[in-house]
Chains A and B, each alone.
Chain A
Amino acid sequence: MRTADLELAARCRAGDAGAFEELYRQHARRLFSLVVRMIGSVDDAEDLLQEVFLQAHRKLSGFRGDSALGTWLYRLTMNHCLDHLRARQVRMNRATESLDEEGAEEPTAPAPVVPAVVSRLDLERAIKMLPDGARAAFLLHDVEGFEHREIAQILGISEGTSKSQVHKARMKLRMILRR
């Protein structure tokens, strides 16, 4: 697998346009789904994935095969997503931070009813409400099927943190879906 990755990366670096298209075809669908769910917008996901692949094309010379090419691409993608979300959050906080002093809104209490079967539509909505870090770990683990060891590589965190983020995400989803 690693040898195949290294060969594909070498062909891309050598300017083989077909090789880079092969790389795109292998990973674009899964990466696109991940980006849509991470940033919540199909239009923005297109722009962001385009940036990811252009950056991947520029950075392929730095790929040494320490991880699978797919993991390397996931890492680039998640870095882009998290940067995008951080920038958006900073702007949103600054712009909508109330200039007047007001009391915070009361949180609404969840009703203790658990649906027997979780609908995919409800789950998609609930995923959008997760904190960024927990959403990233949850999508990689429960949706994309990565192991915690791989998630640790992709997100640059420890395996323990990956586990605790997935746990946090599941518990929060449970709370949201009980409403």
Chain B
Amino acid sequence: MNCELHDDLLDDYVDGVRATDHRSDERFAAFERHLAGCIRCQALVADLTSIRVAASTLDEHIPPPRLWATIASSIEEQQRQPWWQRQLGGAFSAWVPTAVAASIALLLVAGGWNVWQQRRVETSQQGGAPQPREAVPAEQHYEQAIAGLQELANAQNAALDPETRTVLTKNFAVIDRAIDESRAALAQEPASTLAQESLLDALETKVALLQDTVALASDTGGGPDEAAAAVKELNQ
């Protein structure tokens, strides 16, 4: 008899279901006969039963007493808010670091992008060749975004586990190399649209990587307080 045919019954058996509970189901009786003579299934049942027993006796985690106090005061606060703010709820506070990072990047990058696009349109309307180093305004805005995000990321970097930090360092090295190479290519051919776009792509990738770094750090301990402190420093 094939052991795999009984996988579904095996879990029921581990949960305490027996053939006597399913007199009308011949498969249960067949499974129990199979089990009596199958060492593999006996070992499996023993292991899964041990897991089941251990799982049912796991310790309870006790919520700290302050949790109810926090919830009760948040409810009171909510009830004083207008209805539309109540609907948005407390989910907002958890996103503060990410929202800060995203806002910095979005404002700066969008500004730069607009300037760059405007220049492209002007150049095309004039019918002339693109001007040398046309991407400079967008590039500067990306760099400002990167600098702001880099400060946030540095402030929260310690919250990341060493393995994640190692991978991120490696990825930042790769993207920095790509930025350097794009800049070198652009220096050689300042009018090349391909070289300009390649540089902006690389800068945009770095912005995204920094945003993810900030969000990851806030997931793992570098919370809103750390982000707020970093932003305060940035603003000074």
Contact = CB atoms under 8 A, between A and B. Distances in A.
A23 to B, nearest CB: 11
A163 B11 contact: yes
A177 interface: yes
A106 interface: no
A120 B54 contact: yes
B63 A123 contact: no
Given A29-B60, A29-B62, A173 B51 contact: yes
Nearest to A169: B51
B118 interface: no
A163 B63 contact: no
B164 A92 contact: yes
Given A95-B164, A120-B57, A166-B11, A49 B91 contact: no
Interface in A63-108: 88, 91-92, 94-100
Contacts of B62: 29, 32
Sorting the interface of chain B by its residue count into under 10, 10 to 19, 20 to 34 or 35 or more gives: 35 or more
Contacts of A124: 58
A50 B70 contact: yes
A179 interface: no
Sorting the interface of chain A by its residue count into under 10, 10 to 19, 20 to 34 or 35 or more gives: 35 or more
Contacts of A42: 61
A174 B48 CA distance: 7
A118 interface: yes
Contact of A143 (B55, B64, B87, B168): B55
| Chain B, interface SS category | helix
A158 interface: no
B71 A36 contact: no
Given A98-B171, A124-B58, A57 B78 contact: yes
Contacts of B94: 47, 51
B69 to A, nearest CB: 11
Interface string B40-62: 00011011101111111111111
A99 B89 contact: no
9 contacts: A15-B79, A21-B72, A32-B62, A94-B212, A95-B164, A95-B213, A118-B50, A166-B11, A173-B51
Given A37-B58, A95-B216, 13 more contacts: A21-B72, A29-B60, A32-B61, A32-B67, A42-B61, A46-B67, A51-B94, A54-B78, A99-B174, A100-B174, A118-B53, A138-B55, A170-B11
Interface of B: 7-8, 10-11, 14, 43-44, 46-48, 50-64, 67-68, 70-72, 74-75, 78-79, 86-87, 89-91, 94, 164, 167-168, 170-171, 174-175, 208-209, 212-213, 215-216, 219-221
